[in-house]
Chains A and B, each alone.
Chain A
Amino acid sequence: MNSIRRHLTGRLLLGCLLLLGTGGAAICLFARAVLLNEFDGSLQTAAAALTDLTKQTRQVEFAIPLDVAPSAPPPQTSHFFEFWLADGRMLKRSPSLGAADLPFRADSHAGPQYWNLTLPNGAPGRAVAMKYVPSVEKHGKHRTLTPVEVVLVVARDRGALDRTIRSLIGVLALGVVLLSAGIVGIVRLAVRRGLAPLEKVAVQTAAIDATSLQLRFPTDVPAELLPIVARLNEFLARIEESFTRERRFSADVAHELRTPIAELRLLADVALKWPHDANATKRAFQDTLDAARQMELMVTGLLTLARCEANREPGISEPVIIAHLVGEIWGPLAEKASVKKLAVTFDIPAQIQFATEPTMFRAILANLLDNAVEYSPEAGDVRIEAREDGGSFALSISNTAKNLSAEDIEHLFERFWRKDSARSDGRHSGLGLSLTRAFAEQLGVSIQASLGDSSNLIMRIAKDTGISRCSPIVHPPGVPIPAQAGVVSVGVGTA
């Protein structure tokens, strides 16, 4: 499995060990070069001392004081030298060579030549070869001496140098190994420490299930993790809210269905227990039908709400003439308003029209108007007004509502919320305003409830764009134009 820790550890270790290895090798090579250079320098110094002491005394005769050869080495010394003429004739050799020869190198014109070799005593050595012209003794008869070239090879045992280089390599290798071990430890520790917050978040995330949605990730995490943790917390809050809402919803539905189910069951129980009471049985059937209708109303409402919340696309928009629509919806409500002696005011300019999906928009208005009539007390006020102002549209429906508090307003749109926390007569499912809001959201229209100054509930639906002035208005045939369209009229229970 792909693992950040393994990946990171692997890359870091590879990088560190490569650097360490290269560094160690470079140090090693450099030190070897320095040591060799120094060794060669001392070889050259020894050779130079020998050349200084060499003098041409006669034609091809040289004074080479063996006893002053470098450091006056004893015969078994590790210092060796040998002189040749350029044509290869041996002139002199160091006593330490015995009868053996050093390799002759006549091609060292450019300067001293260094190379490794095996000494006559079998030990590894290093030699320098140089070609030079010795000075000529200047006295008497030897004035005509022609200078000749002499080849000198000086060799030395390089066992000590090899040992030093080997110890250096050994020390460096040991250092590299120790450092590598240290680096492995440090890298692993650092990676573990560095990834600890990530692993903590991972463990916490893995532990989250439907029962622990109230958990939140601590936000004292490294800056890199902060956006993740913040977003996770945000998601958790959202999921928790949605879970709570769903749980409450299921509970609400179950609770709301208990009463009609209890009614159905009791009606059947009573009818079965006392089957001979014809009147009671007839009423039981009527009540059964009513209870079934109430359940149907609720289930239909819930299904509509579910469909709406599933974000289905609203239908095709078309211009709706507000005054007409309100007139149509008000028709069936007028009688009830009249019975309740409501003072109804319409203030809807005739030219206002609104481009929207007509079925949902009608459902919104129908529900709000129905509520206004239903929940207004006897002789209360109902006021419906529409405004259009520079591309924004607003419609407000206000009705007298003496018992509502500011706290109630917050709950108005909740499913199954009712002022009295009690069931109504079964005509209302407790879903009307939830549906209204869901429809409004679907249509992109805002809907707000507020309490007016004179104990009245104001429902306001508004949209910023989508309104256009219709001019001239073509009234569709067969649609009655409400008398209130375009004028402000105040009437008692009339529409």
Chain B
Amino acid sequence: MRVLVVEDAPRLQYSIAQALRKAGYAADVASNGSDGLWLAETHDYDTIILDLMLPQMDGLTVLRRLREQGRNNPVLILTAKDTVADRVRGLQMGADDYLIKPFALEELLARVQALCRRSYGHKDSRIVIGDLEIDTAAKTVRRASQPVELARREYALLEYLALRRGEVVSRTEIEAHLYDSEAEPFANVVDSAICVLRKKICPDDAPQIISTRRGLGYVIESP
């Protein structure tokens, strides 16, 4: 899942991005409204965390521009403005959620998680594919009731494929949603990540659930 953080307070911006990355998200940052808008226009973010009081272009303008362009990426407004009028205005302008500073990290992560899930049409935090069970809240995976240990990025890859189960997901899409501007994915990073993931979730005797569509990408479905 790739998240954009538009926040002008440098320490806050850094901490949020760091927390998101540690929680398994790819996170891009922007320090002003125009940069934020440009990034949001050029990438298909799973969630955008948007401050309202921003230099150059305020958050509500960024939001309005995005919605005018028909972009429906989930937007979480993160601001110090706490009046009901502010919240209502933000939500009416097309925001999906509103969080007031100061906030609890767990709450921010949970809200970002919920927004990401919902952008793929899931409301339940559990995804079950055959005997594979993914808990997107706890970020744990079980295969045939046995826990599967996955690295952060491997989990993110599995979660992304699982959220789009039954759909063919291209390498480009995977790259766009799992790697932020700080990571520099080399050519076959996706292929090798898929390879590692397959070995971990499908030991030799288990049926394979991630299949390759040559020239198109990968798809996850019940065997």
A residues near B, CB below 8 A? 255, 258-259, 261-267, 269-270, 273-274, 277, 280, 283-284, 287, 290-291, 420-423, 425-426
Give the chain A neighbours of B105 by CB distance below 8 A.
265-266, 269-270, 273
Contact B8 A266 (CB under 8 A): no
| Closest A residue, CB atoms, query B19 | A270
Contact of A422 among B12, B19, B55, B100 (CB under 8 A): B55
Contact of A423 among B8, B100, B103 (CB under 8 A): B8
B101 at the interface (CB under 8 A from A): yes
Contact of A263 among B12, B56, B58, B106 (CB under 8 A): B12
Q: Distance (Å) between the CB of A480 and the closest chain B CB?
A: 36
A287 to B11, CA, bound (A): 6
Contact B15 A255 (CB under 8 A): no
Q: Distance (Å) between the CB of B150 and the closest chain A CB?
A: 17
Q: Distance (Å) between the CB of A287 and the closest chain B CB?
A: 5
Contact of B80 among A255, A273, A290 (CB under 8 A): A255
List B residues 156-183 near A (Cβ within 8 Å).
none
Knowing A273-B19, A280-B18, A287-B14, say if A259 contacts B101 (CB, 8 Å).
Answer: yes
Contact B102 A261 (CB under 8 A): yes
Give the chain A neighbours of B103 by CB distance below 8 A.
262, 265-266
| Closest B residue, CB atoms, query A256 | B80
B104 at the interface (CB under 8 A from A): yes
| Closest A residue, CB atoms, query B109 | A273
| Closest A residue, CB atoms, query B107 | A269
Closest 5 CB pairs of A and B: A269-B105, A258-B80, A262-B102, A262-B101, A420-B55
B81 at the interface (CB under 8 A from A): yes
Contact A265 B22 (CB under 8 A): no
A421 to B15, CA, bound (A): 22
A287 to B102, CA, bound (A): 16
A149 to B16, CA, bound (A): 142
| Closest A residue, CB atoms, query B31 | A422
Knowing A255-B81, A274-B22, say if A287 contacts B55 (CB, 8 Å).
Answer: no
Give the chain A neighbours of B101 by CB distance below 8 A.
258-259, 261-262
Q: Distance (Å) between the CB of B119 and the closest chain A CB?
A: 24
Residue of A270, A283, A287 with most chain B CB atoms under a 10 A cut-off: A270
| Closest B residue, CB atoms, query A258 | B80
Given pairs A266-B16, A422-B8, 7 additional interface contacts (CB within 8 A): A262-B101, A264-B102, A266-B15, A270-B19, A270-B105, A273-B22, A280-B18
Q: Distance (Å) between the CB of A288 and the closest chain B CB?
A: 9
B114 at the interface (CB under 8 A from A): no
Knowing A265-B103, A273-B105, A421-B53, say if A259 contacts B9 (CB, 8 Å).
Answer: yes
Q: Distance (Å) between the CB of B139 and the closest chain A CB?
A: 12
B54 at the interface (CB under 8 A from A): yes
Contact A270 B102 (CB under 8 A): no
Contact of A259 among B14, B55, B56, B80 (CB under 8 A): B80
Give the chain B neighbours of A283 by CB distance below 8 A.
14
Give the chain B neighbours of A263 by CB distance below 8 A.
9, 11-12, 15
A258 to B101, CA, bound (A): 6
Residue of A262, A263, A267, A277 with most chain B CB atoms under a 10 A cut-off: A262
A270 to B105, CA, bound (A): 7
B32-56 vs A: 1/0 string, CB under 8 Å? 1000000000000000000001111
Q: Distance (Å) between the CB of A295 and the closest chain B CB?
A: 12
Contact B22 A421 (CB under 8 A): no
Residue of A265, A267, A269 with most chain B CB atoms under a 10 A cut-off: A269
Give the chain A neighbours of B215 by CB distance below 8 A.
none
Residue of B14, B15, B32 with most chain A CB atoms under a 10 A cut-off: B15
Contact A267 B11 (CB under 8 A): yes
